[in-house]
Amino acid sequence: MDNGRLVPDTLCDEIALAIDLGRHGLVVTGCAHPGIDRIVEKASTIIGKRIKYVLGGLHMVGLEESRVREIAEKLMSHGVERVYPGHCTGLEAEYILEKIYGENCRVLRAGLKIEFHS
């Protein structure tokens, strides 16, 4: 409501967590609605370091392969070395990310254990 009249809600609700793990900068996302590339760029600016790891839902379900590749290229240009795509990434996008990142892409599944060592 604005001055008694109904207006569209343009706020893109999103929660992302940027963690400074020393040399292991990390972003954890819930569903990356604004775009994981934009989240990584913002997180890197906030913590003042590049983000090396992305973990969580990447909200790529239904995206064309060219768009997924474009996002992956942006992540790489921002310094993202490893991706751990989760629930809302989508099977096709997970497959494309695995082709691009190779062994540096691990799809999040129940029981996966990820450790960061200094």
The whole-number mean pLDDT for each consecutive block of 10 residues of the chain, a chain of 118 residues, reads 83 79 82 90 89 93 96 96 94 96 96 84
Of 12, 88, 74, 85, nearest in space to 44 by CA: 74
What is residue 12's predicted lDDT score, i.e. its pLDDT?
65
What is residue 11's predicted lDDT score, i.e. its pLDDT?
65
What is residue 101's predicted lDDT score, i.e. its pLDDT?
97
What is residue 29's predicted lDDT score, i.e. its pLDDT?
83
What is residue 15's predicted lDDT score, i.e. its pLDDT?
80
Residue 85 is part of which domain span? Answer: 16-104
What is residue 111's predicted lDDT score, i.e. its pLDDT?
94
Please indicate, yes or no, if residue 23 is contained in any of the structural domains: yes
Please indicate, yes or no, if residue 117 is contained in any of the structural domains: no
Q: Which two tokens stand for residue 25?
A: 């900068």
Q: How many CA atoms lie within 13 A of 49 on its CB side?
A: 14
What is residue 118's predicted lDDT score, i.e. its pLDDT?
65
What is residue 72's predicted lDDT score, i.e. its pLDDT?
97
Tally of structural domains, the chain: 1
Please indicate, yes or no, if residue 94 is contained in any of the structural domains: yes
Please indicate, yes or no, if residue 115 is contained in any of the structural domains: no
Please indicate, yes or no, if residue 45 is contained in any of the structural domains: yes
Please indicate, yes or no, if residue 11 is contained in any of the structural domains: no
Please indicate, yes or no, if residue 3 is contained in any of the structural domains: no
What is residue 112's predicted lDDT score, i.e. its pLDDT?
92
Instruction: Give Cα separations from 104 to 10, 42, 111 (angstroms).
Output: 35, 22, 18
What is residue 19's predicted lDDT score, i.e. its pLDDT?
86
Please indicate, yes or no, if residue 87 is contained in any of the structural domains: yes
Element spanning 85, H or E: strand 82-85
